[in-house]
């Protein structure tokens, strides 16, 4: 009989003692739901932009990346490519110049695609026309719509090799 009184005392003690772990579990679940909802809302406001570095869709790049990298390495062994315009102005239109210097071979049948873009969006992309003369690939005059960071992305090919370049610069007032 003494053990019955002990059990009754334990039950009375448990009823008077409050536990907070059920509240902690419920608050944790609510916190996870809020965090997931916030993540979804933020990701909808800031969608992933397509990276145009290789001027191709990601599926094509993934299936041909080894050939692309080998071709780029071969091109870089033949030519030096540089871009020296690191600061531009919004107030005047001026061309962008890429300098191609042959290391081992003469430049034959040069092909190029140039894209002017912002690093954080594709909304202001501009496909540029350019001309090649005396080792300089020069675009038409460019007037920048907004100031800030810009990128000039280039795909340059000769007969059998192709290389991709990304040059960053700043546009001020």
Q: What is the pLDDT of residue 6?
A: 56
**Gyration radius from the chain CA atoms:** 31
Q: What is the pLDDT of residue 51?
A: 65
Q: What is the pLDDT of residue 9?
A: 59
Q: What is the pLDDT of residue 135?
A: 87
Q: What is the pLDDT of residue 72?
A: 93
Q: What is the pLDDT of residue 171?
A: 87
Structural domain includes residue 40: no
Structural domain includes residue 88: yes
Q: What is the pLDDT of residue 1?
A: 54
Q: Give the closest residue to 145 by CA, choosing from 162, 129, 125, 168.
A: 125
Spans of the chain below 50 pLDDT = none
Rounded to whole angstroms, the Cα distance separating 137 from 158 reads 13
Q: Give the closest residue to 103 by CA, choosing from 82, 79, 76, 73.
A: 79
Q: Which residues contact 172 (CB under 8 A, 6 or more apart)?
A: 87, 88, 89, 90, 147
Structural domain includes residue 147: yes
Q: Which helix (H) or strand (E) holds 155?
A: strand 148-157
CATH of the domain at 149: 2.60.40.10
Structural domain includes residue 13: no
Q: What is the pLDDT of residue 32?
A: 97
Percent of the chain with pLDDT over 90: 34
Q: Which helix (H) or strand (E) holds 158?
A: none
Structural domain includes residue 43: no
Domain that holds residue 120: 58-172
Structural domain includes residue 82: yes
- How many domains, the chain? 1
| The two three-digit tokens of residue 111, written as one number | 């092909």
Q: What is the pLDDT of residue 42?
A: 86
Structural domain includes residue 123: yes
pTM of this structure: 0.69
Q: What is the pLDDT of residue 74?
A: 93
Structural domain includes residue 95: yes
């Amino acid at each position: 009989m003494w053990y019955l009184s002990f059990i009754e005392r334990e039950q009375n003690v448990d009823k008077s003692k409050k536990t907070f772990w059920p509240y902690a579990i419920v608050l944790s679940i609510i916190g996870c739901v809020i965090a997931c909802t916030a993540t979804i809302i933020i990701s909808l406001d800031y969608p992933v932009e397509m990276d145009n570095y290789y001027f191709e869709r990601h599926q094509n790049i993934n299936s041909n990346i080894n050939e692309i990298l080998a071709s780029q390495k071969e091109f870089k062994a033949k030519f030096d490519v540089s871009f020296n315009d690191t600061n531009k102005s919004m107030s005047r239109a001026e061309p962008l110049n890429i300098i191609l210097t042959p290391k081992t071979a003469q430049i034959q049948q040069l092909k190029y695609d140039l894209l002017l873009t912002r690093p954080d969006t594709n909304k202001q992309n501009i496909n540029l026309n350019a001309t090649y003369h005396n080792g300089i690939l020069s675009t038409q005059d460019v007037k920048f719509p907004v100031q800030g960071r810009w990128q000039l992305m280039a795909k340059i090919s000769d007969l059998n090799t192709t290389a991709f370049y990304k040059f960053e610069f700043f546009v001020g007032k």
